[in-house]
């Protein structure tokens, strides 16, 4: 908390934060809390959009060469997905082009890992996740699978489609109107920060997706 306080004070001093800007920031935090509920976590969306989630994950979970890189679950993951059988469909409604997903879980020494849990979730053809869609069953396009004794898993999903960032909350407003601020963040970050590239890639992907949804060009570049 001491380090957080130092950095917050440093930020306020650096930008010369005004009373009006401080009040706007407090209002944004209040709006973020108001719009969040059991199905939508706007604070997590803030963390994802600013690249903080990826940075924390990259620092916390270094991976040996040749192993799968860790990533964040994102704001649309939900606990309690149903346990499904090998090869079962995760769809609870008709719609979308079927896609067969399969793979094998192995250890660092390439030995099969049995009973590993694979938690999957995706959005539907309407680009919404079940936690966003009031017309979708709670378990739609979600499921947990366990690898076989040979480490294998398989399930039936649907062809992925781009999903939008909710534009009705403070994160959507930020992404719609503050591309210059995010570019400045990129320029000010030091190369010594571990995981910086992954964090900024996450920011860029969020902005590009958001502007594609609005039918607007995005000039964000690496």
Across the chain, mean pLDDT equals 82
Distance CA 32, CA 43 (A): 6
Residue 78 in any domain: the answer is no
Does the residue 111 lie in any domain? yes
- Specify whether 197 is located in the same domain as 183: yes
Q: How many domains does the chain divide into?
A: 3
Q: What is the DSSP letter of 173?
A: H
Q: What is the CATH number of the domain that holds 133?
A: 2.60.130.10
Q: Is residue 189 very low, low, confident or very high in pLDDT (cuts 50, 70, 90)?
A: very low
Q: What is the pLDDT of residue 211?
A: 46
Give the range of the structural domain holding residue 125, as residue numbers without chain letter.
98-158
Q: Write down the pLDDT at residue 51.
A: 86
Note whether residue 79 is domain-resident: no
pLDDT band at 186 (very low <50, low <70, confident <90, very high): very low
Q: Does residue 123 share a domain with residue 107?
A: yes
Residue 102 DSSP label: E
Residue 180's pLDDT is 54
Same domain (yes/no): 196, 174? yes
Residue 222: pLDDT band (50, 70, 90) is very low
Asked if 201 and 212 sit in the same domain, the reply is: yes
Q: Measure the CA–CA gap between 132 and 202, rounded to whole angstroms.
A: 21
**187 and 144 share one domain:** no
- Cα separation, 160 vs 125, in Å, equals 8
Residue 55 in tokens: 């940075």
* Residue 192: band (very low, low, confident or very high) from pLDDT cuts 50, 70, 90: very low
Establish if 220 belongs to a structural domain: yes
> pLDDT digit string (tens) for 103-150?
999 998 999 999 999 999 999 999 999 988 999 999 999 999 999 999
Mean pLDDT of 63-83: 85
The number of angstroms, rounded, from the C-alpha of 183 to the middle of its chain's C-alpha atoms is 20
Judge if 109 and 139 occupy the same domain: yes
Global pTM value: 0.63
Domain end call among 110, 141, 158: 158
Domain finish residue from 136, 158, 180: 158
Identify whether residues 144 and 105 lie together within a single domain.
yes
Residue 199 is encoded by which pair of tokens?
A: 């964090």
**Chain segment 144-180, per-residue pLDDT in tens:** 999 999 999 999 999 988 877 788 899 988 887 765 5
For residue 139, is it within any domain? yes
> What is the reported pLDDT for 77?
87
In-domain check, residue 22:
yes
Kindly state whether residues 147 and 190 are assigned to the same domain: no
**Are 6 and 48 members of one domain?**
no
């Amino acid at each position: 908390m001491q380090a957080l306080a130092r950095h917050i004070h440093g930020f306020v001093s650096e930008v010369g934060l005004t009373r009006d800007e401080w009040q706007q920031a407090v209002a944004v935090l209040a709006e973020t809390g108001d719009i969040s509920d059991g199905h939508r976590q706007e604070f997590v969306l803030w963390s994802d959009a600013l690249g903080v989630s990826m940075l924390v994950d990259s620092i916390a979970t270094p991976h040996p060469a040749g192993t799968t890189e860790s990533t964040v679950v994102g704001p649309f993951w939900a606990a309690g997905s149903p346990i499904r059988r090998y090869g079962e469909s995760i769809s609870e409604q008709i719609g979308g082009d079927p896609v067969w997903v399969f793979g094998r879980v192995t250890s660092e020494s390439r030995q099969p890992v049995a009973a590993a849990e694979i938690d999957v979730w995706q959005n539907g053809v309407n680009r919404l996740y079940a936690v966003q869609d009031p017309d979708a069953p709670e378990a739609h396009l979600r499921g947990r699978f366990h690898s076989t004794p040979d480490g294998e898993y398989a399930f039936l999903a649907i062809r992925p489609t781009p999903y939008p960032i909710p534009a009705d909350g403070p994160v959507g407003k930020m992404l719609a109107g503050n591309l210059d601020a995010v570019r400045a963040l990129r320029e000010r970050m030091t190369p010594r920060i571990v995981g910086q590239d992954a964090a900024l890639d996450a920011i860029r992907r969020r902005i590009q997706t958001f502007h594609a949804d609005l039918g607007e060009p995005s000039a964000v570049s690496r």
